[in-house]
Structure formats: structure tokens, C-alpha cells
Chains A and B, each alone.
Chain A
Amino acid sequence: MEHTEHLEHTETPKDMKSQIWKTFWILFAFTIVDIILYFVLLSNHSMMKNWVFIILGIVKAYYIVGIFMHMKFERKSLMYMIVIPMVFVIFLVALMIIEGDFTGLLRWIK
């Protein structure tokens, strides 16, 4: 029985199972923090509050993509190919939120 060649796999840590559960608890904790912060900052409507939630979302995304989707253990070239376009998307989010504020002003002037 010949042993067929398998694609070389970038290494997976030996303790993957414990890493998965650790990631789960991190995501769980961040979601709880999100909800608590929502009620703490309820009367606050500054741009800073949005950035707090967006950054918490990005932290959660880091754990989901890094551990669950295995990106942390893939080649760097693959990681940059996926991550760099998304940086521009975040830039566009910031631009459009600011632009929306101005559109609101126009509506108020009318």
C-alpha cells in the first residue's frame, strides 16, 4: 500500500482542543462586556462610543479568524491577501459615518 503524498500542512498546535475552548470563553466574555458597555454608555452619543464597539468587534474577529478559521497558523502571504483589503473597508466605514453626519446636518438646515 503506497502512502500517497499529502499537501504539506502548516503546523497545527498540539493542544488545539484547549485553544478552541479558551477562544470560546474569550468570545463569550467579550460579548458580555459588549452588552454591559451598551447599558453603561446608553446616554452617550459621541463618536468615541462607536469606536469602542467597533474595536471590540475587531478583537472578536481576530479570535474567530485567527483560531477558528486557522488563519494564525497559515502562511503570512495568505493572511495579508485576506486582511489588507479589509483594512480599507474599515477606512470606508469611518468615512461614511462622518459623511452621514453631514447629510444629517443638511436635512436639519432644510
Chain B
Amino acid sequence: MATNTLSTENKFTWGGGKSPFSVSYGKLMMWIFLLSDAFTFSSLLIAYGFIRYSFQSPIHNEIVKPLAHVADNFVEQMQQAGLFLQDHWPSPELVFNHFPFVHGVHLPLFFVSLMTFILIFSSVTMVLAVEAGHRMAKDEVAKYMLLTIIGGAAFLGCQAWEWTTFIGEGARLYENPYGPRSFAALFFIVTGFHGMHVFSGVVLNVIIYLNVLNNTYEKRGHYEMVEKVGLYWHFVDLVWVFVFTFYYLI
């Protein structure tokens, strides 16, 4: 029988012969990587909080109600109505009001909520794959890994659509029709950095999925690799929870 990699780890990795945290070396390093990655994201969100509060709060919108009709020149109308000003942070409900295939209707935050649910759901399928891995149920692991990949790809598609809409309305890294310039710059940097993480997560998931199909982990005797990539995937979901909170709600 193939030697268990974990048993060799016991001999050489730890000076005391045993992990002080009762987790394998790879998993511990994944946790430490995630902590450092959390610092990177925190620095972006802290910068966001700082810049957001160095501008005045959004002006309360009493003109556009949910489900109201939205004209093609909505952004210009809002600028004229005094809701998009240079020294006031724009109100997220007036900026994030688009939905694919639904044109000309004010749907505040609907699309971003959908994106949040997609990511939470793909996190659930990932944790179900990890759980199936504990039982060495190869087919179930493969099934849930595939669902996770689909969820991740759907999220990336949503983000691409959202970016396209904003760029179409004139938002750039250096200019912003909704108000202060830093709003659009921060939007593209924060969601772009998160989207890059989702993309690399999907790539890792595809690699793991192919390995599962090739019986790599069946031969190795454990599905720990699924757990490690799962940790990364949940972290991406966790970051989205905070991007959602800071960018769309506050």
C-alpha cells in the first residue's frame, strides 16, 4: 500500500514529533497564509472607511422609489437633481440598481444580494465536498466540487457584468459620474482584488476536481487537499461578506 504522507510528516515536520496545533503542516500554513491575506484585504477596507468618511454622507434620496422607471440618462438626472455631488459620497442604492435582462427599472441592491447568495451557496457545496471527503465518498466529492466551480464561475460572470455596466456609465479608475473620484477607484480595486481571489479559487477548485476524478486522493488515502482548498474558498466568501457590508451597506 502507498505510504501515507501524513505519517512521514509526523516524523520530520515537527520537532516534537507531533503538530502542536493538531493539524497537518499544510493546513496550518494555509491558515497563516489566510491571516496574511486577511491583513491585505483589511488594509483595503480600512482605506475605504477612511476615504468614505473624509467625504460627506450621501444625500437622502426621496425621488426614486424601488421598482420605479429608470430613464437611459439616469446618472445625468441624478447629477441634476443634486443626488450625485462631488463632495458627497454617492448613495449605494442609486449606484447599484441594475439587473441583467431587466432594463429601465430601479432595483436597488438586488443584483449584489444575488451575488452574495451565489457565493454563500458555493461555500456550502464546498463544505459538503469536504464532509464527503471525510467519508471517502469519491462520487459525492466530485459532485459537490463541480457545483462549487459552477457557483464560482457564476459569481465571476456577475462581477464581469457589473463592471461592464459601470464602465458603460463612465466609471473609471480616474473618474466617476456618481460623485467623488475615489468611489469608483476603490470600487474597481476592492472588487477587482476580490474577483482575482475568486478566479484563483476557481482555478484551484478545477485542479482539485480533476485530481478527484483521477483518483489521486483515493490513492493517497485521504482528501485533505479538498479541505485546504476549501479553507481558501471559505475565506474568499468571508471577504465578500465584508466587501458587501462596507461597500454596499455602509
Chain A 77-98 interface residues, beta-carbon cutoff 8 Å to B: 77-78, 81-82, 85-86, 89, 92-93, 96-98
Task: Give the chain A neighbours of B197 by CB distance below 8 A.
Answer: none
**Chain B at the A interface: SS class:** helix
A78 touches B54 (CB 8 A): no
Task: Give the chain B neighbours of A9 by CB distance below 8 A.
Answer: 22
> Chain A: interface residue count, which band?
35 or more
User: Which of these, A6, A42, A53, contacts B245 with CB under 8 Å?
Assistant: A53
B120 touches A20 (CB 8 A): no
B245 touches A20 (CB 8 A): no
User: Which of these, B31, B57, B93, B238, contacts A64 with CB under 8 Å?
Assistant: B238
Task: Give the chain A neighbours of B28 by CB distance below 8 A.
Answer: 78
Known contacts A60-B241, A64-B123, A92-B42; can you find 19 more A-B pairs with CB under 8 A? A1-B1, A4-B6, A7-B9, A7-B22, A9-B22, A34-B249, A42-B60, A42-B91, A64-B241, A69-B238, A70-B227, A74-B21, A75-B21, A77-B21, A85-B39, A86-B42, A96-B47, A99-B50, A101-B54
A38 touches B54 (CB 8 A): no
Render B222-250 as a binary contact track against A, CB cut-off 8 A, 1 for contact: 10000100110011011001101100111
Task: Give the chain B neighbours of A68 by CB distance below 8 A.
Answer: 123-124, 126-127, 230, 234, 237
Closest to B242 in A: A57
Task: Give the chain A neighbours of B46 by CB distance below 8 A.
Answer: 89, 92-93, 96
Task: Give the chain A neighbours of B147 by CB distance below 8 A.
Answer: none
User: Which of these, B21, B109, B222, contacts A6 with CB under 8 Å?
Assistant: B222
B241 touches A89 (CB 8 A): no
B4 touches A77 (CB 8 A): no
Task: Give the chain A neighbours of B61 by CB distance below 8 A.
Answer: 42
A61 touches B42 (CB 8 A): no
